[in-house]
Amino acid sequence: MELSTILRDHRVMYRAGKTMTHTYRIHQLQKLKDMLNRNEKRIYQAIKKDLGKSDYEILMTELGVLYSELDHVMRNLKEWMRTERVKTPTTHKGAKSYIYKQPYGTVLIISPWNYPLNLSITPLIGAIAGGNTAFLKPSEFTPYTSELLADIIADTFEEKYITVVQGGKEVSQELLELEFDYIFFTGSQKVGQIVMEKASKHLIPVTLELGGKSPVIIDEDAKISLAAKRIAWGKLLNAGQTCIAPDYALVHESVKNDFIQALKKELSSFYGNQPMEHPNYTKLIHEDHLNRLEKLLDNENIIFGGEADRENRKMNPTLIDEPSWDRPIMQEEIFGPILPIRSFSHLEQIVDEIEHSRNPLALYYFSENEQKQQWVANNISFGGGTINDTIMHIGTPHLPFGGIGASGIGAYHGYESFRTFTHRKSVLKQTTAFDLSFRYPNSKFGEQIMRKLFKK
Ligand code: NAD
């Protein structure tokens, strides 16, 4: 069926008003949860075929987070849907003010390959909770997971409510020509620009969850071995193919050697001395990606790792010492198991460092000094981050997740997803019991009263 025809069916379904009730939305969220439960085995198999992720990673970063997000949303949805009564100023005497939570209508969700289940279903939870119907376009680079998603979603939901459209960028662009009511895109900055441009044609509101270079800063008073362990974990998760992976490290010069030694130890402790031979160490998505990563290593000072296994599409954890900012490795998002390390001598210096790659999606700061932690949180611009750890801020439904500037527009997770997928519609209910005449041009004392009310 033509995409435009399916979209028309969605609109009919939406306008019939079924998605407006709490009961309906909860029922659909429960169906989504049952769908995941029922198909767990197939989900593990598909993600493994696409990316070679271990069971532990799939549970932690793909499935487990979905169950907790679903439970959190189902528990709170009634409260979030409630029409809010807000204050009314004295200039509007007699009136009452409300905020209604209006679904957008039919939304388009476009997702990337790196967490193919999580990054498709988490926005979908928000879309359903908000009372929308949805199209989902998963990535062409995870064919097994995308096919499975299409299959199980078609089995669970009516096509006119949730539709999975498979395909590559041509299909994505075909979808972007249609007049959706909202677009939620997760992917690269380059494609984010295309999405925003296409959305501007019909003035469609967007959320853009993009990438960028996220720094990890290790200050002189950090607990070095704990920092090294948490950084190694954050970097090796999904073999570095994580939007909020620490992209590069800025280390205080006084602890640099200790940090590198500790990091080498931790990098070898998770998967042994040859991680690329370990079955639980995630694959790189495709050969071009491996080629790009290998090219980034050209002429760099490799102090650890650097080896790649072409046949199995894997690369050992790799450390680069002091690359300059004009090197390709410092110019683009790495998205692989390579960590460049630069040093600094004063904390203020990191502002200039980060300025080279503005608006990071995430930032990690390791220090035992609370004042310095506050300084970093207050003075540096980034989407979100963690003090004394990596990645963990993404795993709570109580924190909005999103970028700033080049790393993204908007946020989601928990309540923020509900907010993203609904319009806060203001309604002022005016009284007819009386009519204050001072606003009318023929009011004798209108100007005087207004001066008083506006305190002029
Ligand atoms: P991508 O931008 O290449 O692709 C994302 C989606 O867009 C895919 O579904 C793809 O089919 C579609 N697409 C690709 N080219 C297109 C085009 N020209 N026109 C229209 N649609 C097109 O991203 P990717 O390689 O799948 O994912 C990696 C990127 O995503 C990284 O930059 C990473 O940082 C970012 N990312 C961000 C988050 C986040 O939450 N902020 C999460 C994961 C990944």
- Which residue matches tokens 């929308």? 132
Looking at ligand 1, which atom is closest to the CA of residue 173?
Answer: 20
| Four-way CATH pick for 3-211+407-425: 3.40.50.620, 1.10.1760.20, 3.40.605.10, 3.40.50.970 | 3.40.605.10
Atom 6 of ligand 1, residue of closest alpha carbon: 112
Q: For ligand 1, say whether the CB of 113 is within 6 Å of any of its atoms.
A: yes
pLDDT of residue 452: 87
Task: Kindly tell me the number of DSSP H helices and DSSP E strands found in the chain.
Answer: 17, 18
Whether the pLDDT of residue 455 is over 90: the answer is no
Q: For ligand 1, say whether the CB of 194 is within 6 Å of any of its atoms.
A: yes
Taking the chain, what is the end-to-end CA distance rounded to the nearest angstrom?
Answer: 63
Q: For ligand 1, say whether the CB of 64 is within 6 Å of any of its atoms.
A: no
Atom 22 of ligand 1, residue of closest alpha carbon: 169
Looking at ligand 1, which atom is closest to the CA of residue 408?
Answer: 41
- Which residue matches tokens 């981050």? 385
Whether the pLDDT of residue 172 is over 90: the answer is yes
Looking at ligand 1, which atom is closest to the CA of residue 113?
Answer: 26
CA atoms of 2 and 90, how far apart (whole Å)? 54
CA atoms of 225 and 229, how far apart (whole Å)? 6
Model confidence over 212-238: pLDDT tens digits? Answer: 999 999 999 999 999 999 999 999 999
Q: What tokens appear for 127 in the block?
A: 């879309």
Q: Which residues are catalytic?
A: 209, 243
Å from CA of 219 to ligand 1 middle = 33
Q: For ligand 1, say whether the CB of 140 is within 6 Å of any of its atoms.
A: yes
Question: Beta strand 206-209 with 182-186: parallel, antiparallel or unpaired?
Answer: parallel
Give the mean pLDDT of 85-95.
94
Q: For ligand 1, say whether the CB of 137 is within 6 Å of any of its atoms.
A: yes
Angle at CA of residue 82, ends 77 and 87, nearest 5°: 140
SS3 271: helix
Pocket test for ligand 1, best of 51, 166, 169 (most atoms within 8 A of CB): 169
pLDDT of residue 454: 85
pLDDT of residue 265: 97
Amino acid found at 349 = Q
- Which residue matches tokens 């409300």? 98
Inter-residue contact 349 to 375 (CB < 8 Å): no
Å from CA of 226 to ligand 1 middle = 32
Going by C-alpha positions, the residue among 123, 142, 143, 141 that lies closest to residue 132 is 123
Other C-beta atoms within 10 Å of 26: how many?
A: 16
Å from CA of 172 to ligand 1 middle = 11
CA atoms of 407 and 392, how far apart (whole Å)? 18
Q: What is the share, in percent, of the chain residues with pLDDT greater than 70?
A: 100
- Within 13 Å and on the Cβ side, how many CA atoms surround 359? 12
Q: For ligand 1, say whether the CB of 408 is within 6 Å of any of its atoms.
A: yes
Going by C-alpha positions, the residue among 283, 336, 279 that lies closest to residue 310 is 283
SS3 321: strand
Question: Which CATH homologous superfamily contains domain 215-394?
Answer: Aldehyde Dehydrogenase; Chain A, domain 2 (3.40.309.10)
Give the mean pLDDT of 14-28.
98
- Residue ranges per domain, the chain? 3-211+407-425, 215-394
Whether the pLDDT of residue 381 is over 80: the answer is yes
Inter-residue contact 234 to 293 (CB < 8 Å): no
Q: What tokens appear for 410 in the block?
A: 């908007």
Whether the pLDDT of residue 456 is over 80: the answer is no
Looking at ligand 1, which atom is closest to the CA of residue 138?
Answer: 9
CA atoms of 235 and 217, how far apart (whole Å)? 14
- Which residue matches tokens 């969850």? 209
Atom 12 of ligand 1, residue of closest alpha carbon: 169
CA atoms of 359 and 406, how far apart (whole Å)? 6
CA atoms of 330 and 215, how far apart (whole Å)? 11
CA atoms of 296 and 368, how far apart (whole Å)? 34
Å from CA of 191 to ligand 1 middle = 6
pLDDT of residue 14: 98
Whether the pLDDT of residue 1 is over 90: the answer is no
- Within 13 Å and on the Cβ side, how many CA atoms surround 166? 15
Model confidence over 236-246: pLDDT tens digits? Answer: 999 999 999 99
Model confidence over 316-370: pLDDT tens digits? Answer: 999 999 999 999 999 999 999 999 999 999 999 999 999 999 899 999 999 999 9
Q: What is the share, in percent, of the chain residues with pLDDT greater than 90?
A: 95
Inter-residue contact 272 to 364 (CB < 8 Å): no
CA atoms of 73 and 255, how far apart (whole Å)? 43
Mean pLDDT taken over the chain: 97
Angle at CA of residue 397, ends 394 and 401, nearest 5°: 45
Q: What tokens appear for 394 in the block?
A: 């993404």
Q: How far is CA 413 from the centre of its chain?
A: 8
CA atoms of 97 and 85, how far apart (whole Å)? 6
CA distance to 176, 193, 244, per residue, from 405 (Å): 22, 12, 15
pLDDT of residue 356: 94
Å from CA of 185 to ligand 1 middle = 8
Angle at CA of residue 338, ends 236 and 333, nearest 5°: 100
DSSP state of 406: G
